[in-house]
Structure 1
């Protein structure tokens, strides 16, 4: 089923499976940080080794971006999705039972690779399944990921204090993936779209515009991760509030992201507005980060943090919508290249920000995020139209007498 711009938006079993899959992946991603804090304490490892888990995950994301298009072509989407379900569940299970840092590092690499392949394939399936309504599907899918960001730390707090311990946090996605695999075992995702005849995509090459939009996907994710990793430190540096208070205040950022994605779902009910919505959310994100960056007042800084969360909420799904819509049938390839840029941004963005912060302080180092946001805005306008049909004005043509 592929919907047109005039078709009603229908959440089929394929859609529901896609939404739940992204939620499980989001849970794995956002659970990693809180779980690593416990692992670092229990295993007695250095902060370097703790950070290495995130690096291994990021490398796996890059590998997924480099290999997804070929794997989808050779294996087909159905088989690839099933393999990714098994591999992602295996990575989470390995992390849950690991008693040595070598095991948890291996699990992080496996989760980063298999989970990113699962995410990329799911977004490609949702894109082709919903056609020109893909913007709404991708935004709604990320609502689940945002809810998982709120759930993961709460799950750790609840389970770690009980008899099951922190390991149960990583066992939950294993159970979820098994249930999804059984309940939706008969769902057949749409095959890869056929490249549009008469275009550069017909010979397997993506256009320059698509490449730019794929890069845009990675850059906006880089902006998000810079704020996720350094938002609390920036709040502490600029306002002087306690570090624990600043870290707790980041919950407002994630809550604002969740609200932003719920609102974004309503704004995408009309197709063809992705580019304008992305421009607006980028401007809101920049305004919020500037407020957080410049303010000395904690209340004003928190307003900026929440505004940034509202804007950042839909940067990734809307940018991915534009990249996939412009691919003219090369959905898998565009999704793969977007994932490659995402992995690169996750690996380098916070790292560069951290290096600059060590040298000049967090406030000056945070210019990295602001610069990335400005580059994203430039790429959005350089990338041209969003690939959706535009409403044409009616022109009266005078008939010859």
Structure 2
């Protein structure tokens, strides 16, 4: 006789606020994956070298860094997620308009940086709002769905850019189409507001769960601070109230329970909660508090971080310069070659849809090596032939590998940080900025001297370096199931 499970099946609540957040992240994804092939077409319009054109990715990365640093202040200043997200989309629209309106390097470079500022704000605010609205149980799944939606929306972007260029109406028309898309989104869902219960109190999010933001999310710790402060409150608080807030599963207000025992159990429950959240609990006032520094991170963490930088470099080199190699090797028109990014993004969309579930069943080391191996096979297909069909297929396979590399390495780094998850997250984001700022520029610089085909050998060098870094950092205790489906 089989037993029937009585545990409820958790599902993401797809209310209006959740759908709006999904679509707002999708609007940014449309811009991002239209922006990459546009750089190659802008190079032709302004008669730039590949190295100079690659500076646009460097400026974009500088903007991402500035936006990441200012995101907490920005969201608080505007009064919460809803106004911050809409004003972020307005800023993105204006910066895209500036990028397209003035065909001069002195304008396009700073416009790319401004796009990076508002793009990073959107990428941080959306996962944070989803975590707050859905809590620790279904929040990670909601963030996963949001990234999957964004990836599928992004598939259309390079198709639009390539189609517009091939039709003779100009790639700028396709990139600018993100502006009316944002306008339509506001007309349809502009009145939707964040639920009052979500803004009242934020739920803590487990470190491993936060990886589903794919390096773009923030872990909200307001709930954690509230729990810690309440655990050290005065004796005037009733035991039943303490028990309801801290333990939940126990009735700490039993008639025979002493007040001291209640507080001890509450403090123990709070400690267990905080161990699974970010950041570490504040120490009592009579103990000194020392801020974590880079020296607190282990050598293994920094070796793993090298792999993360390589993973970011691979993704942006593929999306930024694959159209150039398609034109050079397969002799495709500029418009058709620009759609090569679609193959990469399609592979990423599929990989991000199934990646979380795979991580529940496959050891994390094995999955990381499989992702880099898949990437290497896809690149070999793309690089070694001049057949456009095979090249597009190779890009799709490479995108499949790219999809999970960075989030898995970010999760690995957090586990190696010995509880310094916020510091590890900051290093991960900074490393991603370094990758975006330097790798596409370096590939473009080399292509001006040795040709794009030879210059693209940087990618297998990045892949091999990343795999060596993962192997060198050794095995570690990574609990299965940390990354939710």
Q: TM-score, normalised by structure 2?
A: 0.62
The answer to whether 1:352 aligns with 2:442 is: yes
Q: Would the alpha carbon gap of residues 123 and 311 (structure 1) be closer, same or farther in structure 2, given more than 3 Å must change?
A: same
Q: Which residue, out of 296, 318, 324, partners 1:227?
A: 318
Give aligned pairs, total: 377
| 1:394 alignment counterpart | none
Q: CA deviation at 1:112?
A: 0.4
Q: CA deviation at 1:284?
A: 0.7
Q: 1:342-371: CA deviations, max 9, x gaps?
A: 121112111111222222222221121111
Q: CA deviation at 1:58?
A: 1.8
Q: CA deviation at 1:24?
A: 2.7
How far apart, CA to CA, are the structure 2 residues paired with 1:259 and 1:296? Answer: 25
| 1:145 alignment counterpart | 150
Q: What RMSD in Å do the two structures reach over aligned CA positions?
A: 4.4
The answer to whether 1:173 aligns with 2:182 is: yes
* Structure 1 unaligned blocks of 5 or more: 1-5, 392-401
- Contact 2:82–2:194 at 8 Å: present in 1 too? no
| 2:452 alignment counterpart | 362
- Contact 1:40–1:47 at 8 Å: present in 2 too? yes
Q: CA deviation at 1:35?
A: 5.8
How far apart, CA to CA, are the structure 2 residues paired with 1:317 and 1:91? Answer: 27
- Contact 2:152–2:349 at 8 Å: present in 1 too? yes
Which has the higher mean CA deviation after the structures are superposed, 137-146 or 332-341? 137-146
How far apart, CA to CA, are the structure 1 residues paired with 2:438 and 2:318? Answer: 13
* Secondary structure of residue in 2 paired with 1:183: coil
- Contact 1:232–1:243 at 8 Å: present in 2 too? no
The answer to whether 1:95 aligns with 2:118 is: no
Q: Which residue, out of 44, 49, 57, partners 2:60?
A: 57
Q: 1:258-305: CA deviations, max 9, x gaps?
A: 23333325424x377444322211111012212333345555444433
How far apart, CA to CA, are the structure 1 residues paired with 2:118 and 2:191? Answer: 19
Q: Which residue, out of 355, 373, 390, partners 2:463?
A: 373
Q: Which residue, out of 28, 31, 34, partners 2:31?
A: 28
* Secondary structure of residue in 2 paired with 1:314: helix
* Secondary structure of residue in 1 paired with 2:479: coil
Q: CA deviation at 1:117?
A: 3.2
- Contact 2:37–2:338 at 8 Å: present in 1 too? no
Q: Which residue, out of 117, 122, 125, partners 2:121?
A: 117
Q: 1:312-354: CA deviations, max 9, x gaps?
A: 1222333333334555654444333222211211121111112
| 1:85 alignment counterpart | 85
Q: 1:180-239: CA deviations, max 9, x gaps?
A: 6742423435432443469xx9843452344444443332121011112222333455x5
Which has the higher mean CA deviation after the structures are superposed, 292-301 or 354-363? 292-301
Aligned residue runs from structure 1 range 2-401, under 5 A: 10-12=11-13, 19-33=22-36, 45=46, 47=48, 53-65=56-68, 67=69, 72=72, 81=81, 84-95=84-95, 97-98=97-98, 99-100=101-102, 105-123=109-127, 139-154=144-159, 167-173=176-182, 176=185, 182-186=191-195, 187-188=198-199, 189-190=202-203, 191-192=220-221, 193-196=277-280, 203-205=291-293, 207-208=297-298, 209-237=300-328, 239-244=329-334, 246-268=337-359, 270=360, 273-295=363-385, 298-327=388-417, 330-384=420-474, 388-390=478-480
How far apart, CA to CA, are the structure 2 residues paired with 1:77 and 1:276? Answer: 44
* Structure 2 unaligned blocks of 5 or more: 1-6, 204-219, 222-276, 283-288
Q: Would the alpha carbon gap of residues 31 and 253 (structure 1) be closer, same or farther in structure 2, given more than 3 Å must change?
A: closer
Q: Would the alpha carbon gap of residues 286 and 241 (structure 1) be closer, same or farther in structure 2, given more than 3 Å must change?
A: same
How far apart, CA to CA, are the structure 2 residues paired with 1:373 and 1:297? Answer: 24
- Contact 1:195–1:330 at 8 Å: present in 2 too? yes
- Contact 1:196–1:202 at 8 Å: present in 2 too? no
Computing the radius of gyration from Cα coordinates, the structure with the larger value is 2
- Contact 2:326–2:332 at 8 Å: present in 1 too? no
Q: Would the alpha carbon gap of residues 194 and 305 (structure 1) be closer, same or farther in structure 2, given more than 3 Å must change?
A: closer
